Structure 1
Amino acid sequence: MKAVIFDLDGVIVSTDELQYRAWKHMADREGIPFNWEINNRLRGISRRDSLEIILENSSKTYDEQQKMELITFKNDYYVKLLDGLTQDNILPNVMELLKKLKSDGVKIAVGSGSKNAKKILDKTGLSNVFDAIVDGTEIKHSKPDPEVFLLAAAKLHEKPENCIVVEDAKAGIQAAKMANMIAVGVSDARNSELADYKVDDILEVVDIVRELS
Structure 2
Amino acid sequence: MTKFAAIKGFVFDLDGVITDTSVFHSQAWHQVADKVGVKWDDTLADALKGISRMDSLNLILAKDHKENDFTEEEKVALATEKNDNYLKLVNQMTPANILPGIQAFLEDLKAQGYLLSLASASKNSPLVLKKLGLSDYFTKSVDPASLKHGKPDPEIFRRGAEILNLDPAACIGVEDAAAGVQSINGAGETSIGIGDPQVLAAADINFTDTAQLTLANIKAALD
TM range (shorter): 0.7 to 0.9
Q: Deviations over 1:146-169 (max 9, x none)?
A: 222222211111122222111112
Within 2, Cα distance between the matches of 1:24 and 1:189? Answer: 30
Once the two structures are TM-superposed, the CA of residue 135 in structure 1 deviates from its matched residue by 4.7
How much does 1:139 deviate? 2.7
Q: Provide the C-alpha distance between the structure 1 equivalents of 2:185 and 2:156, rounded to a whole number of angstroms.
A: 12
Q: Establish whether residue 196 from structure 1 lines up as the match of residue 204 from structure 2.
A: yes
Q: 1:188 to 1:48 in 2, by over 3 A?
A: farther
Structure 2 CA distance, aligned partners of 1:50 and 1:189? 27
Please state how far the C-alpha of 1:93 moved relative to its aligned partner: 0.7
Counterpart among 1, 5, 9 of residue 3 in structure 1: 9
> CA offsets, 1:159-207, max 9 Å, x none?
2222211111222122222222222111357622222211034343423
Partner Cα distance (1:168, 1:72) in 2 = 27
**Distance in 1 between residues matched to 2:197 and 2:32, nearest whole Å:** 27
User: TM-score when scaled to structure 1?
Assistant: 0.85
SS in 1 for 2:130: helix
What is the TM-score normalised by the length of structure 2?
0.81
Residue 35 (structure 1) shift? 3.0
The answer (yes or no) to whether the contact 2:8–2:170 under 8 Å persists in 1 is yes
Show the counterpart of 1:157: 165
Deviations 1:55-88 (A, max 9, x none): 5524133665554333322111101111111111
Unaligned runs of 5+ in 1: none
Alignment partner of 1:109 is 2:117? yes
Report how many aligned residue pairs link the two structures: 213
CA RMSD of aligned residues (A): 2.6
Retained in 1: the 8 A contact 2:174–2:192?
A: yes
* Residues 127-160 of structure 1 deviation map (CA, whole Å, 9 limit, x = unaligned): 1112411253343432222222222211111122
Corresponding letter in the other structure for 1:5: V
Change (3 A) 1:156 1:39: farther
Q: Which residue of 54, 59, 78 maps to 2:86? A: 78
Q: Which amino acid in 2 is paired with 1:177?
A: N
Which deviates more, 84-93 or 67-76? 67-76
Q: Percent identity?
A: 39
For structure 2, the 5+ residue unaligned runs are: 1-6
